[in-house]
Structure 1
Amino acid sequence: MKKTLFSMASILLLSITSNAQEVEFEEYDLDNGLHVILHQDNNAPVVTTAVMYHVGGKDREDGQTGFAHFFEHLLFEGTENIENGKWFEMVSSNGGTNNANTSQDRTYYYEVFPSNNLELGLWMESERMLHPIIKQGGVDTQNEVVKEERRLRYDNSPYGQFLFAISEQLFQNHPYKDPNVGYMEDLDAASLEDFKAYFDKYYKPSNAALVVAGDIDIAETKKMIEDYFGPIPSGPKLERTYPTEAPITEAKRTQFYDSNIQVPAILTAYRTPGYGDRDTYVLNMISSYLSDGKSSKLYKKMVDEQKQALQIGAINLEQEDYGMYIIYGLPLGENTLEGLLEGMETEIAALRDNLISESDFQKLQNKAESNFVNSNASVEGIASTLATNYMLYDDTNLINTEIDIYRSITREEIKEVANKYLKPNQRVEVEYLPKKEDK
């Protein structure tokens, strides 16, 4: 009976995804290089205006880390036509919401407005791009904001430096070795001219994508975009190169201390390919197999059955140049970090040595189908996906075709990729420990 129900659920999910409406969009470039993506959905009177800049934490010089994240905050200060401190008030008073976020590879700003305020959203983003106010007062204010964010989210948050503890070991040359938020001493030392030069270099039409999604008229929207963004100068051509990393051929063990924790953790990480590589999709499926839900292999064995771990997980962290495949665990009771590491390796070794079962493979396919449907469930989500697919994958239409990649992955491929990237000699191991008391 269970098999029958499982098969019926699989057929139903396949039917839903097979008939899911394709996300239609139009894309083109302005003369200044700004890439524009339009998606019309008139089902609800809302519209998302979003700009993604191809600049993130990795875009820095030595001694000038954290600038992209800093600008995520600074570019809300105001412009020549938006009074200092009035950005959020202007959005909310017109029925909208807005936010921004920065990764190592890109920065994303967006507003969600009632559709009759589309022009306002476009004007505000063009203001941000064309002539923001970058003055010492705003720099000083946002410097304190960033410091407080770092204290809350990283320095004083339990396990808040997990990612940095790994990245500084996985990367010796590439700027991924430094935290996205940067080092506070770099921001303190930066001059106003340093910040202005950074803006002039990266925040320009030819290094950005504009997405407008929702209740729009295409022709009217194109005219407004041309009016507001067309006159913005393209700026000089951007040249960038990033150092490469030699393959990891021998396991490296290190320790990292965090004064905010009482329970230690063991972290293992492997360097993996960047966005768009087929193997990254396989690694996503491996993460789902190992730790997505209570029936996943790591959770069921080490948390549920053997009571070894308080928490366990596997994450495929995708990035543009290199990815990071991370497995972590917190021991339960008297269990040791070494015991957790052995348990993790046992499950990874099983992936390297054997094909996963047909039933487990079908569950992975079903999860991929479900995630695909959910990712396109809102106009706001569609806007983000369109921008990301264009900027980091160089294929905007992945919003419609990415599921076909997951459908084409085989059990044999999962085994092959595990052998390619997840070997003991290709990883770093970090003991994440409570900080010792100073005597």
Structure 2
Amino acid sequence: MKLKLILTIAFAGLFLGANAQQVKFTEYDLDNGLHVILHQDKTAPVVVVSVMYHVGSKDEETERTGFAHFFEHLLFEGSPNMKRGEFMKLVSSNGGQNNANTSQDRTFYYETFPSNQLELGLWLESERMLHPKIDEAGVKTQNEVVKEEKRLRVDNAPYGKFAENIFQHLFTEHPYRWQPIGAMEHLDAAKLPEFLAFFKKYYAPNNAVLTIAGDIDVDKTKGLVKKYFDEVPKGTPVIKRDFNLKPITKEIIDTAYDANIQIPAIFAAYRVPGMKSRDNKILGMISTLLSGGGSSRLSTKMVDEKKTALQVAAFNYTLEDYGAYITLALPNNNTPLNDLLKDIDTEVARLKADLISESEYTKLQNQFENGFISANSKMLGVAENLASGYTFQNKNTNDINEELSTVKSITREEIREVARKYLNKDQRVVLYYLPKK
């Protein structure tokens, strides 16, 4: 079920940092503004080459949504130095893997190679940044690819539009109100000069982080980075918009219908602070307490004891400017949706009234520490987490090593106060997500 995948991704994003082995790195800037992070780990002959561009769907215009995600695809079209469609063939034929993903806040490209193919990975990413092939043929091809992806992952996927329905209420005055996949009519209407302008504005080296992690020689890698990226011209600085949204002061109730489901669901979502906030980290702890595993409060009560829910969850959908704290439940034995919401609200109210126990607090600490080991067990995870720290934590790449100490400094009293501050009925959206006949 897609909901389980969404929750897995959401929880994985929470588990950063630990007092396990520190992640060592070297970082510096090229003259064109490209920030470079190098992490040496010789435990396996593998290297990851990645580039994180600080551009996502929130940087799009209202009538041109979907551009950032579209470029996730378009920038695999090749360059003057490779034929169309050759990018991925070069990766696979040299023993590598590659992919990309786009969020509301950033786009992340990467290749994983045997370490003797480091130079190939750097060349590929420099070609993407320096002179990608952006033409009518590529735009037409990728337009059809994106449409098929939208049909598969959103339009025809069970519960595929829950975030779309929630975010349009939580973020009425913010670009988070639309999803990264965007609107197909906007992509259909866009002209080639608009795509070229979007690339020139956002895919410049001074709006990107190049992270290389794995079996590398640091000095040699610096030379290769200079060789392939020094010639990329610096772009005009990107000025991010500031948003100061008015608080939600009245419960918003909505209903959505989905022809792809047979079991209804109920969601309750709250607008919360973005990823730089300490409160955001506390909300991550609260979501783990409520639904992080089979012995969590909501699962124990609603799935095991009362048997009213097939699935219940709470997760913190963390973004740069704001976040969405979402609870949800799928009924068992035709339990009314309002009964499920009442049970979730009861557990939230208990969080507000009483301090969590010492044993629960210790369990939370252990869960976050184990999460760090999982999140950084592969070079790809290390590369992305290093880049994210620099991009989203005030250029603090070392956030990867500081997160757990921050989490361990959070008190039980803070957990109670944050629940009281944000998880209130007059500050939320309630969505009844029903089968469409």
Q: TM-score, normalised on structure 2? A: 0.94
CA contact (8 A) 1:173 1:244 kept: no
- Partner amino acid for 1:149? E
Distance in structure 2 (CA, Å) of the matches to 1:419 and 1:311: 25
Distance in structure 1 (CA, Å) of the matches to 2:378 and 2:118: 17
* 1:124 partnered with 2:124: yes
- Matched position secondary structure for 1:112: strand
1:259 shift after superposition: 1.3
The answer for the alignment partner of 1:426 in structure 2 is: 427
1:236 shift after superposition: 1.4
CA contact (8 A) 2:50 2:111 kept: yes
Distance in structure 2 (CA, Å) of the matches to 1:281 and 1:240: 23
Distance in structure 2 (CA, Å) of the matches to 1:243 and 1:40: 38
Distance in structure 2 (CA, Å) of the matches to 1:42 and 1:74: 34
Distance in structure 2 (CA, Å) of the matches to 1:207 and 1:115: 27
The answer for the alignment partner of 2:416 in structure 1 is: 415
CA contact (8 A) 2:270 2:326 kept: yes
1:361 shift after superposition: 1.1
1:160 shift after superposition: 0.8
The answer for the alignment partner of 2:187 in structure 1 is: 187
- Partner amino acid for 1:73? H
- Partner amino acid for 1:316? N
The answer for the alignment partner of 2:9 in structure 1 is: none
CA contact (8 A) 1:174 1:242 kept: no
1:232 shift after superposition: 0.6
1:242 shift after superposition: 4.4
The answer for the alignment partner of 1:214 in structure 2 is: 214
- Matched position secondary structure for 2:325: strand
Select the structure of larger CA radius of gyration. Answer: 1
- Matched position secondary structure for 1:58: helix
The answer for the alignment partner of 1:83 in structure 2 is: 83
Q: Which consecutive residues of structure 1, in runs of 5 or more, have no partner in the other structure? A: 1-16
Q: Deviations over 1:181-238 (max 9, x none)?
A: 0011101111111111100110000000000111111111111111111111111122
Q: How do 1:321-340 residues align onto structure 2 when only pairs under 5 Å count?
A: 321-340=321-340
1:66 shift after superposition: 0.5
Distance in structure 2 (CA, Å) of the matches to 1:260 and 1:380: 34
- Partner amino acid for 2:402? T
The answer for the alignment partner of 1:157 in structure 2 is: 157
Distance in structure 1 (CA, Å) of the matches to 2:19 and 2:146: 45
Q: Deviations over 1:319-355 (max 9, x none)?
A: 0000000000111122111111111100000001110
Q: Deviations over 1:120-140 (max 9, x none)?
A: 100100000000010111101
Distance in structure 2 (CA, Å) of the matches to 1:46 and 1:139: 33
The answer for the alignment partner of 1:282 in structure 2 is: 282
CA contact (8 A) 2:243 2:321 kept: no
The answer for the alignment partner of 2:101 in structure 1 is: 101
Q: Deviations over 1:24-67 (max 9, x none)?
A: 10111111100000111122111110000000011111110010
User: After alignment, is 241-250 or 277-286 more displaced?
Assistant: 241-250
- Matched position secondary structure for 2:405: helix
The answer for the alignment partner of 2:147 in structure 1 is: 147
1:360 shift after superposition: 1.1
The answer for the alignment partner of 1:24 in structure 2 is: 24
Identity level (%):
57
Q: Which consecutive residues of structure 2, in runs of 5 or more, have no partner in the other structure? A: 1-16
CA contact (8 A) 2:66 2:182 kept: yes
What RMSD in Å do the two structures reach over aligned CA positions? Answer: 1.2
- Matched position secondary structure for 1:241: coil
CA contact (8 A) 2:18 2:404 kept: no
Q: TM-score, normalised on structure 1? A: 0.94
CA contact (8 A) 1:267 1:430 kept: yes
CA contact (8 A) 2:56 2:102 kept: yes
Distance in structure 2 (CA, Å) of the matches to 1:262 and 1:216: 51
- Partner amino acid for 1:413? E
Q: How do 1:64-83 residues align onto structure 2 when only pairs under 5 Å count?
A: 64-83=64-83
The answer for the alignment partner of 2:402 in structure 1 is: 401
1:244 shift after superposition: 3.0
Q: How do 1:151-300 residues align onto structure 2 when only pairs under 5 Å count?
A: 151-300=151-300
- Matched position secondary structure for 1:104: coil
Distance in structure 2 (CA, Å) of the matches to 1:382 and 1:74: 26
Q: Deviations over 1:290-318 (max 9, x none)?
A: 00111111111111111111111001010
- Partner amino acid for 1:433? L
CA contact (8 A) 2:19 2:404 kept: no
Shift of the 424–18 alpha-carbon distance from structure 1 to 2, 3 Å rule, reads closer
The answer for the alignment partner of 2:309 in structure 1 is: 309
Per chain length, whose mean CA-contact separation is higher, i.e. which structure has more relative contact order (CA < 8 Å, sep 6+)?
Answer: 2
- Partner amino acid for 1:96? G
Aligned pair count reads 420
Moved over 6 A (4+): none
1:239 shift after superposition: 2.0
- Matched position secondary structure for 2:124: helix
Distance in structure 1 (CA, Å) of the matches to 2:56 and 2:253: 29
Shift of the 257–407 alpha-carbon distance from structure 1 to 2, 3 Å rule, reads same
1:21 shift after superposition: 2.2
1:400 shift after superposition: 1.0
